Structure 1
């Protein structure tokens, strides 16, 4: 996704949530365990009546499950729905049916289980129609896995979360693990321009969805689809971290919270600390209206609540996890490269294609030349930082910026 928050001056002032909001959040995240109660207290009700009640409730539950498969978010007002069958649709997609084998086959739990590694880790990427069109982002993304070093096998663990009907169809044509996800009242088939309401909704929906994955017991590597995977990143992750995230700019110290994180790539382990952190992150959007998830993370990373949780947060070195904001300088080390600091789909596609070609050129070198190579990326080009200067603060709307 497009990122521009790095162009704002770094503030060392800790932004605290309002006292009442923080108290409510802490109260919300403090578990309570009511005393156990009996479902049926002692009474003189005949056993036949109780049996009738139990059967009636069971029938109602089964009817509701058959009517609609629904995953309800516990921390937001969004409703995450699996797409209904497309067999009777009027858009020409009559051959595409999501539930030919039964709706249960496409529940999130099943898709995650099929794709998970032995330690219940999955790789997750989201996709909408704009990025799913032929010869666009999704093709470059999957190609990087196929030509990377040690990355082809990781496709077996990649779950593509489609945000609209056409993205799901494209995923089913090109990948094994696809999950169809819609949010009621939100149209995500067009390109979501940076900082527009559609962009903000998409970013916050992503945070809440990833929280749900953690609550289901799965670790995940989340990756934007405009990130090229050139090497297996797992050897470069920190073993002791609950939450580790790539950076637009890296200070040189993985524990320094002054690093500028980028929400497009992170590795998160499922545990109580990470789950409560994602709940806190999502809830904090109400304290910072108009900001996207990455900016809010830059605010709340200073909050004492993070320390109270005991969350171990680490920031990933751009030498291994680079991007157009701060490219990896050694192609012998690079694991991923992100088309961040870039506005517009056409600009991204232009620079990503050059990036892939640079990688192919590097791979074609003899081993001795690879090790001694001083080859550098030819990007950014269309994704120059100058094109982002007008987005130097999230308070500026896109409309205002385009008028400058």
Structure 2
């Protein structure tokens, strides 16, 4: 899901699509990648880059307000729009791999998703100084069945009944805080090793050797995200060339993050 700030020249959408083209066994996903645009400007630019863009009018009830940045007051509105879309797609009977725009796809993640579970997800942890939150790693798989659908509907209903902190917009936090409810609906959760789905919050020099995706988390500024994600993608391309030339044993020092710090 993208808005104008995510889909314009030099934006996150360009880097995301390039990662699919440069990843290992990821190009094939492009024909299955549907991008939902939140405003007419995003739609026009998305259509220039990718064949499968959905016009904002398709989801008119959800997209009446644009989200300007990930730290804006509209962030919660954006998250609930996403959940409405999940409900619609699950009702149509389609399994979903949902990816945030600030995720680089380096390898096919399919082997990490267990189709016998309603949800396969990698969760990271962050703290605001008072409590620790369980946050999504930028990608998850959801199975289209009655259990998943009813849980999503319960989650949507609870938004209107109870005030929630922003962290509970996270699917990871929702599952963590509602284990009994998930069990009651029969929602089985496969927690993927978070070391397989990397991010700027948890860095190590062996990431290219082990991870399937890299999430530009711990970074609020969109310009900084694009800058550092571009460096990651350039380094990934160099790493793949080294592997091809049998020079993979030569370690690559991380050049990132540079602007996504602090």
TM-score range, shorter chain: 0.7 to 0.9
> Could you tell me which of 132, 137, 149 is aligned with 2:24?
149
Residues 20-60 of structure 1: per-residue CA shift (max 9 Å, x gap): xxxxxxxxxxxxxxxxxxxxxxxxxxxxxxxxxxxxxxxxx
Residues 232-253 of structure 1: per-residue CA shift (max 9 Å, x gap): 1102222422111222249xxx
Which structure 2 residues correspond to residues 30-45 of structure 1 after superposition, within 5 A?
none
Structure 2 residue aligned with 1:222: 98
Per the normalisation by structure 1, the TM-score is: 0.57
Deviation, structure 1 residue 216: 0.7
Q: What SS class does the counterpart of residue 34 from structure 2 fall into?
A: strand
| Correspondence 1:197 to 2:96 | no
Q: What SS class does the counterpart of residue 230 from structure 2 fall into?
A: helix
> Could you tell me which of 291, 303, 323 is aligned with 2:166?
291
Deviation, structure 1 residue 334: 1.7
| Correspondence 1:378 to 2:252 | no
Structure 2 residue aligned with 1:158: 33
Structure 1 residue aligned with 2:64: 186
Deviation, structure 1 residue 213: 0.5
Matches of 2:170 and 2:30, distance apart in 1: 30
Unaligned 5+ runs, structure 2:
127-131
Structure 2 residue aligned with 1:268: 142
Alpha-carbon contact 1:245-1:262 (below 8 Å) kept: yes
Residues 202-225 of structure 1: per-residue CA shift (max 9 Å, x gap): 111111111111011000100011
Alpha-carbon contact 1:228-1:338 (below 8 Å) kept: yes
Structure 2 residue aligned with 1:16: none
Aligned alpha-carbon RMSD (Å): 2.3
Deviation, structure 1 residue 296: 7.1
Matches of 2:159 and 2:90, distance apart in 1: 19
Structure 2 residue aligned with 1:55: none
Alpha-carbon contact 1:204-1:293 (below 8 Å) kept: no
Matches of 1:203 and 1:166, distance apart in 2: 20
Matches of 2:189 and 2:175, distance apart in 1: 12
Alpha-carbon contact 1:207-1:282 (below 8 Å) kept: yes
Residue 288 to residue 245, structure 1, CA distance change in 2 (3 Å):
farther
Residue 308 to residue 214, structure 1, CA distance change in 2 (3 Å):
same
Matches of 2:174 and 2:102, distance apart in 1: 25
Which structure 2 residues correspond to residues 111-126 of structure 1 after superposition, within 5 A?
126=1
Deviation, structure 1 residue 178: 1.1
Matches of 1:241 and 1:284, distance apart in 2: 23
